[in-house]
Amino acid sequence: MKGIQIYLVEDEKNLGEVIKAYMEREGWKVKHLTDGNEAYELIETHPHLWVLDIMLPGMDGYQLLKAIKSKGNTPVIFISARDKDLDRVLGLELGSDDYLAKPFLPEELVIRTKKLLERVYPDEKQEIEKFELNGYTIDPKRRMVFDDEEVIELTTKELDLVILLTSNIGKALSREEIIEYVWGSDYYGSERAVDDVVRRVRKKLPRIHLETLYGFGYRVLSS
């Protein structure tokens, strides 16, 4: 994918420059930042993707993630030497889309980045025009959901789930199909992750009739 702008926030200068070089080989534009406060000032410029270290001077990665997600649904990948399960889970719960523990091969980060970008930013010909459902306006191209004129704050996975199900009104989708679309084909976690995201979507978008198909998956009904 060309024309992609990535903000890399990594205070280890040498590592940051190596990652930047690998990513730029893919044709992506990469801005390397080394300070959390500096990164915070750029949140509203809305790059296509953030790659965040957790331990940073100024604002840490968790604070930055919260700030980024409060302004939209830009995808975020965490990279960190803190490979504790609690750190990984907390990052994902706060809305990060992937977590890669140091040390890692730059090639692995590039592969994960490519898969995430392909899922979040499909080709123009595959994009769905915005539509209305039960008073909500769903705009897949801008990756936003509105209730009247108010933007509903959704994580990237919540938004992907909403786009998938509402663009297939009445169609029964299995948990496997949902995982493929929302998490990608390399996901090996529990299918219960689907149920967790569905639960959060129901809470945030209560007027959408999201039907559970026990033992199979979910579907959205038109009314």
Burial status of residue 1 (CB atoms within 10 A of its CB: 0-12, 13-18, 19 or more): middle
Q: What is the pLDDT of residue 125?
A: 39
Residue 108 has pLDDT above 80, yes or no: yes
Provide the token pair at 170: 């009445």
Fold observed for domain 125-221: Arc Repressor Mutant, subunit A (1.10.10)
Residue 112 has pLDDT above 80, yes or no: yes
Residue 126 has pLDDT above 70, yes or no: no
Q: What is the pLDDT of residue 123?
A: 56
Q: How confident is the model at residue 92 (pLDDT cuts 50, 70, 90)?
A: low
Q: What is the pLDDT of residue 184?
A: 77
Percent pLDDT > 90 in the chain is 39
Mean pLDDT for the chain overall: 85
Q: How confident is the model at residue 124 (pLDDT cuts 50, 70, 90)?
A: very low
Mean pLDDT for 165-173 is 88
Say what the pTM is.
0.57
pLDDT in tens, 146-162: 998 888 999 889 999 99
Using CA atoms, how far residue 87 sits from 108, 119, 163, 206, in Å, is 20, 25, 29, 30
Fold observed for domain 5-120: Rossmann fold (3.40.50)
pLDDT in tens, 56-79: 999 998 899 889 888 878 889 988
Q: How is 114-177 classified by DSSP, letter by letter?
A: HHHHHHHS--GGGPPPPEEETTEEEETTTTEEEETTEEPP--HHHHHHHHHHHTTTT--EEHHH
Domain residue ranges of the chain, discontinuous segments joined by +: 5-120, 125-221
Q: How confident is the model at residue 103 (pLDDT cuts 50, 70, 90)?
A: confident
Mean pLDDT for 143-148 is 89
Mean pLDDT highest for which of 20-29, 178-187, 197-206? 197-206
Least confident of 128-137, 172-181, 201-210: 128-137
- The answer to whether the CB of 63 falls within 8 A of the CB of 50 is no
Rounded to whole angstroms, the Cα distance separating 151 from 84 reads 34
CB atoms within 10 A of CB 87: 18
